[in-house]
Structure 1
Amino acid sequence: MRLRHKPWAEEFLQAHPEIVISNPESLKGKWDTEFSNTNPLHIEVGTGKGQFVVGMAKQNPHINYIGIESYDSVIVSALENALEAQPLPNLRLLKVNGVHLENYFAKNDVDRVYLNFSDPWPKIRHAKRRLTHEGFLKIYESVLVDQEEIHFKTDNRGLFEYSLTSMSAYGMLIKDVSLDLHANMPEDNIMTEYEEKFSAKGQPIYRVEAKFL
């Protein structure tokens, strides 16, 4: 995906520290102080324009959410969506790279990880960049509460099959596999921008929940 440069993005992000956390390193191990409660914390790695994480925060006020995105030109859209949906005291955004999660979260900080429509990185030499590669699974496990889960959605059959294999090889419990999520749409399903786009074209949406053991 080619990103359009937005020269105003950085200033806009800095103008909203109540949503976009500028110093997440300082909150490692104590995110409850940021949210002023001890509610469960769910993170979305690669939050894109934020439709999913904003929707989840609206739907589940008893859960804290953090959307993680590394590109200024993308996360500004997530911020705009968050501002439009205010008040959402249970939502924050981080402009960081998911590979560095351990810099911002301690073990047991996170209760669930969402991965939605991640870049498939189809070339074999790029496999380590896939967000369901064993290297990333190790990172998620290092910040999650013991025996908690990853929820993964994609339209890419190849990435889905790779992810099932990767998670199984890592020793995770594979559960609730769907090869066509929208055939029996769950009432609580929040769609991402890509999910709306691809499902409208008739493409099946693949979904899995995987639990660390």
Structure 2
Amino acid sequence: MRLRKKPWVKDEIFQYTSYSVKEPREWKGKWRTLFGNDYPIHVEFGTGRGNFITTLAKQNPEINYIALEQKQEVLVQAVRKAVALELKNIRFILGNANFVLDFFSDDEIARIYLNFVDPWPKNRHAKRRLTHQNYLNMYQQILQKNGSIHLKTDNEILFEFSLNELSLHPFYQLHDISLNLYRNEENLEKHVQTEYELKFLEQGKPIYRLEATLI
């Protein structure tokens, strides 16, 4: 179901000035200044309702988190979670992953999360997938050496595509590949779940996961 835009939502997002970054381009290369420390920065592209990123931020106070989401009606829910938890180590961007090079400088990010992103199933839309070579090249610029990409998806076609794209790229090394992450029940405690992920687990769907390190 398509969400209808509500004009007050954007206003609510940006009223939380300690959390929402209205002009992210102004902070390119200066995110540590905004956070006021030198902790590593982890970014989630397509943060959704924010269960994943806010849980991580609560668990890891010595990591800075940036959550990017283009749907304002969804992002406002993530911001509300951060406000309720009184998190100090998270910021939110209302924006699109196409502009990551405008938002982040070279070698600025330690980790990128891609959780249940749009699989764009039609072949003619392959360039829109966030693991296409074009995106991997952008991530290469903003990631630090030994920085990493963490991908989770329920979509087998996207997962196979991502494995192929990453294996063809000369500067990423694949590891920790799982075709059914929660076959081992211990992983339920080890990994933080998104809202989509919890729904898929209830449906018995396998969750595919990989990590790729910039070498």
| Cα shift at 1:24 | 1.3
Q: Is the 8 A contact 1:57 1:90 kept in 2?
A: yes
Matched, 1:34 2:17: no
For normalisation by structure 2, the TM-score amounts to 0.95
Aligned to 1:135: 134
Aligned to 1:157: 156
Answer with 23-32 or 55-64: which moved more: 23-32
SS in 2 for 1:107: coil
Answer with 52-61 or 22-31: which moved more: 22-31
2: CA distance, partners of 1:147 / 1:169 = 18
Matched, 1:202 2:204: yes
Q: Deviations over 1:72-113 (max 9, x none)?
A: 111111111111211x11111001111101111101110000
Q: Deviations over 1:137-156 (max 9, x none)?
A: 11111111023110000001
Listed as ranges, the matches of 1:93-112 within 5 Å are 93-112=92-111
| Cα shift at 1:124 | 0.5
Aligned to 1:46: 46
Name stretches of at least 5 consecutive residues in structure 1 with no aligned partner.
Answer: none
| Cα shift at 1:65 | 0.3
Q: Is the 8 A contact 1:57 1:64 kept in 2?
A: yes
| Cα shift at 1:6 | 2.4
Answer with 73-82 or 3-12: which moved more: 3-12
Aligned residues: 212
SS in 2 for 1:138: helix
Q: Which amino acid aligns with 2:158?
A: L
Note the aligned Cα RMSD (angstroms).
1.1
Answer with 180-189 or 91-100: which moved more: 180-189
Aligned to 2:23: 23
2: CA distance, partners of 1:178 / 1:27 = 36
1: CA distance, partners of 2:63 / 2:97 = 21
2: CA distance, partners of 1:41 / 1:14 = 22
For normalisation by structure 1, the TM-score amounts to 0.96
SS in 1 for 2:159: helix
Aligned to 2:114: 115
Listed as ranges, the matches of 1:2-81 within 5 Å are 2-81=2-81
Q: Which amino acid aligns with 2:51?
A: Q
SS in 2 for 1:191: coil
| Cα shift at 1:4 | 3.0
Identity %, equivalent residues = 45
Name stretches of at least 5 consecutive residues in structure 2 with no aligned partner.
Answer: none
Q: Is the 8 A contact 2:143 2:214 kept in 1?
A: no
Q: Is the 8 A contact 1:57 1:65 kept in 2?
A: yes
Q: Which amino acid aligns with 1:212?
A: L
Q: Which amino acid aligns with 1:155?
A: D
Q: Is the 8 A contact 1:153 1:207 kept in 2?
A: yes
| Cα shift at 1:22 | 0.9
Q: Is the 8 A contact 1:99 1:139 kept in 2?
A: no
Shift >4 Å, 4+ stretches: none
Answer with 45-54 or 77-86: which moved more: 77-86
